[in-house]
A and B are shown apart, each in its own frame.
Chain A
Amino acid sequence: MTAVQESAPTFDNRQAFAEELIRLARQDPRIVAVCNDSVGSSNLGAFQKEFPDRLINVGIAEQDMVGVGAGLANGGFIPFVCAAGPFLTGRALEQIKADVAYSNFHVVLCAMSPGMAYGELGPTHHSIEDFAWIGALDNMTIVVPADPQQTREAVAWAASTDKPVYLRVGRFKVPAVTPPDVTFELGRAVTLREGGDVTLIGTGTTVSRALEAADLLAAQGFEARVLNMATVKPLDEAAVLAAARETGRVVTAEEATTRGGLGSMVAHVLAVNHPTPMRTLGVTEFAPTGSAAYLLEHFHLTARGIADAALELLR
């Protein structure tokens, strides 16, 4: 692994998610959790212990789970519907479309262990199509916190809004990247590092790797701007356009398919408004067998991979 991950302390965002959800639930009796036999993997054990009546486990039934979430929202509750990303989105996509997005219910869909988190378990368990699928749905937001601080703030925001939310809660341990004085704001990218030669845009787990890539580029004399795109939808188009105008080159990195994800959304904004040389890093095919770490190397979603993509543009 890379230098930052070896040296900096790392955190499980699911822990921050669970702690914040419990804190909010103590204040607001409308908050309930719904899950699909995933009390453990969604890290809801402590929530269940403190609020047994407000933890609704429907079993292995994702279509039912999302519909139940919509019904709870109809009844005045704020449901956090938690399940492993691939099954929440893929299995219940029509429920997400019709019952949540089209009905415009305030349901917080929490995709646990997204991206390549379940590396060796194979492509059935990789949640990489979610940005494309959920991104295509009107009314939906897509929020991808990069570290525990941002996770806590995103959970609190998700409880306070009145719209459907898709919240991606990573399983990989990640370093803290958010400056203490920066708070989560929907649709607002966080500039973590200024630079004029190239812009690296990450989301979730790829943010810290983009920062490390900026270090690698600095060693070669290039200054990279680093954006944490914690909201994939609505995209911070102003930040994307400013980056393109001011740095002339853009690299996106996401633990998601390049077809329809963050890279596609950034490319669309730039193609329409300000065509700019780009590289879009992401998952490009059903993954071969391998650990999550191996697969991130395979798809160039490492600091080295991101830096190399930037260097291609800089040459």
Chain B
Amino acid sequence: MTTIPSIRMPVRPARLASLDAAEREEQARALSRSVRLSVLEMIEHAGLGHIGGDFSVTDILATLFSSVLHVRPQEHDWPERDRFILSKGHAAAALYAALAHSGFFPVSALGTFMDPLSMLNGHPNRNKVLGIETNTGPLGHGLPVAVGCAIASELSPQPWRTYVVLGDGELQEGSNWEAIMTAAHRRLGTLTAVVDRNRLQQGARTEDTNSLEPLADKWRAFGWEVHEVDGHDHAALYEVFSLAPGERPRCVIAHTVKGKGVSFIEDRVEWHHKVPSREQVEQARKELEA
């Protein structure tokens, strides 16, 4: 596995404030590129993984980790850190790459993805990987835990913000709607839920399986402030993620393309967890490095 150098971004408020928009966007773009290239290598190495969902969520993760989250990679349990939860835990490779390239652990560890005894399981484990807030994998778990984090923030003298990324297909799990109600009822303004709206689930399109639309209206009807953005536009994502906490929990429907960045993977249902051949890896790398 070739080593992609860590960006080691200073994910701290003081430095963030000093960046201008162009610098921020460049950092997010650079992190996205590193994450996608690492994910490609990780999945090739493991012969397993969820490349479609990894690539759809990459720009969201890169924006959060490069310029939004107030976290300290060298002090992962800093009590006042912003909480980030990847509810769609099958996109673990993208999260691991984002964490490693942000300095939470060595980038070289990505080369052990899914190896026997590796800390990098196919789904995130908070007790093994620095920067993971809660174990995810089964769908419909991240949002309730994020609601608990946001309530804890309200009860704490030094509040923080909580961000959770949900897959769109995952919204078919009823536990989300329980949590959506609780967050609205408690007016958890420090909570932001991001829906990775790539419109595909494992077996088919979401709208052909158990349709979600009108999705924004549903969140609004449940009492959330809703924003819709291009989930691959770093500047747009930064803008909405960095809005000050409001009176209500905030839902960001991020319109994405599953497999974004590699032409033959984009928006194809069969690439939910298909592993590219050696030739396909080469083709994908060329496209990602272009």
Contact = CB atoms under 8 A, between A and B. Distances in A.
B230 to A, nearest CB: 29
B179 interface: yes
Interface string B134-178: 111110110111111111110110000000000000000011001
Contact of B144 (A66, A76, A79, A105): A66
A56 B18 CA distance: 39
Question: How many A residues are at the interface, by size bracket?
Answer: 20 to 34
Interface of A: 32, 53-54, 56, 58-59, 61, 63-77, 79, 94-95, 98-99, 102-105
A66 B140 CA distance: 12
A273 B164 CA distance: 48
B152 A58 contact: no
Contact of B147 (A67, A94, A104): A67
Given A63-B174, A74-B134, A75-B83, 7 more contacts: A32-B155, A67-B179, A74-B148, A75-B153, A76-B152, A98-B136, A104-B126
Contacts of B144: 63-68, 70-71, 95, 99
A98 B141 contact: yes
A94 B127 contact: no
B135 A98 contact: yes
B133 interface: yes
B137 A67 contact: no
A102 B155 CA distance: 25
A75 B150 CA distance: 8
B151 A99 contact: no
B54 to A, nearest CB: 21
| Chain A interface helix/strand/loop/mixed | helix
B112 interface: no
B172 to A, nearest CB: 14
A97 to B, nearest CB: 8
Nearest to B143: A67
A106 B151 CA distance: 16
Interface in B102-140: 125-127, 133-138, 140
Contacts of B136: 98
B182 A63 contact: no
Given A56-B151, A68-B145, A103-B126, A74 B133 contact: yes
A68 B141 contact: no
Of A66, A71, A98, A104, most buried by chain B (CB within 10 Å of CB) is: A71
A74 B175 contact: no
A94 B23 CA distance: 43
B175 A71 contact: no
Contact of A63 (B126, B133, B137, B175): B175
Nearest to A81: B148
A66 B148 CA distance: 9
Interface in B174-206: 174-175, 178-179, 181-182, 185
A72 B135 contact: no
Contacts of B181: 59, 61, 64
30 contacts: A53-B155, A56-B151, A58-B182, A63-B178, A64-B144, A64-B147, A64-B175, A64-B182, A67-B141, A67-B144, A68-B147, A68-B182, A70-B144, A71-B134, A71-B148, A72-B148, A72-B151, A72-B152, A74-B134, A74-B145, A74-B149, A75-B148, A75-B151, A76-B79, A94-B141, A95-B141, A102-B125, A103-B134, A104-B126, A104-B127
Interface in B79-105: 79, 83
A66 B174 CA distance: 14
Contacts of B174: 63
Contacts of B141: 67, 94-95, 98-99
B148 A70 contact: yes
Given A61-B181, A71-B145, A99-B135, A77 B150 contact: no
Nearest to A62: B178
B152 A71 contact: yes
B175 A103 contact: no
A244 B186 CA distance: 54
A58 B141 CA distance: 15
A148 B125 CA distance: 38
Contacts of A72: 148-149, 151-152
B155 A95 contact: no
Contacts of B125: 102
B48 to A, nearest CB: 20
Nearest to B132: A103
Nearest to B159: A75
Contacts of A102: 125, 135
